[in-house]
Structure 1
Amino acid sequence: MNKIEEYKSELVRIQDIAILDTVDLVERANGCDKETKVGRGDAFWLYKSANQTLAIAARIEQLLAAKQQITITTSEEDEKQKEAEAQKLLLTVQKELTKRKGKTKKDGKEA
């Protein structure tokens, strides 16, 4: 496994941990006594932490999607470039072949 694949798998692992932590934080915040000032404060901080943890998971998802999109785009661009080069080479060969056929006919020789 190359280094990039290791980083991707590590990011996915971290993302899974962040999602599990988010669920845990929301459950704990939901269990807080919201009738008291301390309970509301605890719930606020737990929800805020859950929001930040979920933002980390979402950011990792965006990073992985962007990396995959770059790979796909690069592959498509490479393919289009190779196709254009092949088309250019084909036209060059056709022109050269036409030129040679013209010379052969002038000499009275058949190809």
Structure 2
Amino acid sequence: MSKIEEYRSELVRIQDITILDTVDLVERANNCDKETKVGRGDAFWLYKSANQTLAIAARIEQLLEARNKTQPITTTEDEEKQKEAEAQKLLLSVKKELTKRKGKTKQDGKEA
């Protein structure tokens, strides 16, 4: 296995870890007590961390795609803002799905 292939497989592994960490952070933020100031603060920082880890996964994806196309990565500020907005949108959709799932388990009387 060449060095490039090793680096590529390591990047894919790191990307998988960041995606799993994002889901974990969103779940933890969703479980915070939003009725208290501390709980809301904790949730905010957890969501912010989840957004950053998701941004890392997106950057790795860009790097892998660029490497496959053998083109340098060039992003403008507008493209970066667009990618961040897409990541935020994805994060919110994950948050809504987790909230929906949590609501279903509460209705069933079961704990997640």
Alignment of 1:11-30 (within 5 A): 11-30=11-30
Alignment of 1:5-84 (within 5 A): 5-70=5-70
Give the corresponding residue for 2:2: 2
Give structure 1 regions of 4+ aligned residues with deviation exceeding 2 angstroms. none
Which of structures 1 and 2 has the bigger CA Rg? Answer: 1
Task: Report the Cα distance in structure 2 between the residues aligned to 1:11 and 1:67, rounded to whole angstroms.
Answer: 12
Task: Report the Cα distance in structure 2 between the residues aligned to 1:62 and 1:48, rounded to whole angstroms.
Answer: 21
Q: CA RMSD in A?
A: 0.9
| Structure 2 unpaired stretches of 5+ | 72-112
Spell out, residue by residue over 1:44-102, the C-alpha distance to the aligned partner (whole angstroms, 9 max, x if none).
0000000000000000000000110117xxxxxxxxxxxxxxxxxxxxxxxxxxxxxxx
Task: Report the Cα distance in structure 2 between the residues aligned to 1:49 and 1:23, rounded to whole angstroms.
Answer: 11
SS in 1 for 2:47: helix
Task: Report the Cα distance in structure 1 between the residues aligned to 2:31 and 2:42, rounded to whole angstroms.
Answer: 10
Alignment: residue pair count: 71
After TM superposition, the score normalised by the length of structure 2 is: 0.62
| Structure 1 unpaired stretches of 5+ | 72-111
- Alpha-carbon offset, residue 33 of structure 1: 0.6
Percent sequence identity over aligned pairs: 86
Task: Report the Cα distance in structure 2 between the residues aligned to 1:67 and 1:7, rounded to whole angstroms.
Answer: 11
Name the aligned partner's letter for residue 69 of structure 2.
Q
Name the aligned partner's letter for residue 27 of structure 1.
E
More helix by share: 1
